[in-house]
Amino acid sequence: MQGIPAPAPGDEHRPRDEPLAAYEHPGLSASGGARADTGPGEGVDVALTDGTSVHVRSIGPDDADALRAFHSRLSPESIVLRFFGPHPRLSDAEVERFTHVDGVDRVALVAERAAQLVAVARYDRSTARDEAEVAFVVDDAWQGHGLGTILLQHLANTARSHGIRYLVADTLSENFRMLNVFRDAGFARTFTRTSEVMHVVMDIAPPT
């Protein structure tokens, strides 16, 4: 696995308007060209790097129990990388917030395999209307199979269709997997390190 390169000359950081709620982990979104209004019963099948097929769709209120179960299967390490600290259980308020999205300003995508959630990715539009914060978590057993990469592309397509230009994330500096996904996504991006956190800004504007 490659490391994260230092920002290239001129790869300066775009000023942020305000601190983002990095740990509120809003919505996921997905699927290349996926419709933002894709409901829980719809979605697309995608192939992982090992050829396994998983189903990607928008999250819905009926996913509450599956989301709790998914979270309970995560390793403590994955939880820390996602929530920046121990978080063994999702509160009822979190489950409510995570499973209720509007498909425009808050988008959340899930990947399913054999009737279980195996990944969740989401974005929340910030008060800067052209910017949204993304967050990802993949079941430990499914990490390294391309899911994070696929979900980022789907989220970017959905975000772009709703007028979002920049996807941002605050990621622990040690989280090379997440940073590699951002690095390899093909978007113009900046990485700005502050102490233990890397702030990433990806410009998802379509190439001209």
Ligand X SMILES: CC(C)(COP(=O)(O)OP(=O)(O)OC[C@H]1O[C@@H](n2cnc3c(N)ncnc32)[C@H](O)[C@@H]1OP(=O)(O)O)[C@@H](O)C(=O)NCCC(=O)NCCS
Token readout for 111 is: 């990947």
Q: How far is the CB of 59 from ligand X (least distance, A)?
A: 16
CB of 121 to ligand X, least distance (A): 8
> Least CB distance from residue 83 to ligand X, whole Å?
8
Asked whether 66 and 116 are in contact (CB, 8 A), the reply is: yes
Q: Which of 56, 59, 65, 69 is nearest to 25 (CA)?
A: 59
CB of 130 or CB of 184, closer to ligand X? 184
Binding site for ligand X (CB under 6 A): 1-2, 78, 81-82, 135-138, 143-149, 169, 171, 175, 177-178, 180-181, 184
User: CA–CA distance from 124 to each of 5, 140, 190 (Å)?
Assistant: 27, 24, 19
The smaller minimum CB distance to ligand X, of residues 61 and 199, is found at: 199
Nearer to ligand X, 27 or 148 (CB): 148
116-125/188-194 β-pairing = unpaired
Cβ neighbours, 10 Å, residue 206: 7
Rounded least distance, CB 127 to ligand X, Å: 20
Closest CB to ligand X among residues 26, 148 = 148
In the complex with ligand X, which residue's Cβ is closer, 58 or 123?
123
Taking the C-alpha atoms of residue 12 and residue 30, their distance in angstroms, rounded to an integer, is 28
Instruction: Give the dihedral sign, CA 165/11/152/95.
Output: negative
Q: How far is the CB of 27 from ligand X (least distance, A)?
A: 14
